[in-house]
Every structure is written in structure tokens, then in C-alpha cells.
Amino acid sequence: EPWKSKIQEEELQPKFNHQSFFTQAGLSNRSCADGRSVSSVLEQGCSGFTQAEELKLFLQSFSSGARKLTEADTKDLLRTGDQDGDSKIGMEEFCSLMKRSEEV
């Protein structure tokens, strides 16, 4: 049954840790201008915000062969980055998310 293999694949995926990712990618010590540049790559429309569907493709924005984030990873990243509760991450919120990764 195909759904069983999909569930097993999801269970094998390591939990995404955005703080470690930002640190290892060298993004945690970047300026807000750099954060805005990264944020604009992530958001696929011209809304100025990154939404859940775009966050799923977060890793693929950095490497086309990377995996999609799981639902749990996406919700965690959105919950952590969304400071005003509008269910999306704006450029300033993304910058703040990067800066908070420095503290780890």
C-alpha cells in the first residue's frame, strides 16, 4: 500500500532544526539586508511574505535536490518565525529568525 511507504519515508526524515541550519549555512551572522534577500527568494509571489506552502520548499531554495520539509517541520518553522500571528513570515520576521539563531 503506497500510503504505508510514504509514512515510513516521513518517519525516517530527521527533524529540521532551523537554528542549526542558519548557523551551518552562515546565515545567522548576516545582516538584515541579507535576510531580506533570502526571504525574497523563498517567497514565490511578490507578497513580501513567506507562507506555509513556500516554507515546505525552504531547503530546496538552497539546493534543488534537497527534501521538502515535513508538515511538522513547516508548522514549527512558521510558529517560531511568525511573530504577529498572521500565519506567514514577513521579511523582518525572517531577519529576526536568523538573528535568534546566533544565540544558539
Residues that constitute the known binding site: 47, 49, 54, 82, 84, 86, 88, 93
Largest CA distance in the chain: 48
Strands of 2-90, DSSP E: 49-51, 88-90
Distance CA 25, CA 20 (A): 8
Q: Which residues are annotated as a binding site for Ca(2+)?
A: 47, 49, 54, 82, 84, 86, 88, 93
**Amino acid letter, residue 16:** F
- Among residues 56, 101, 57, which one has the least CA distance to residue 80? 101
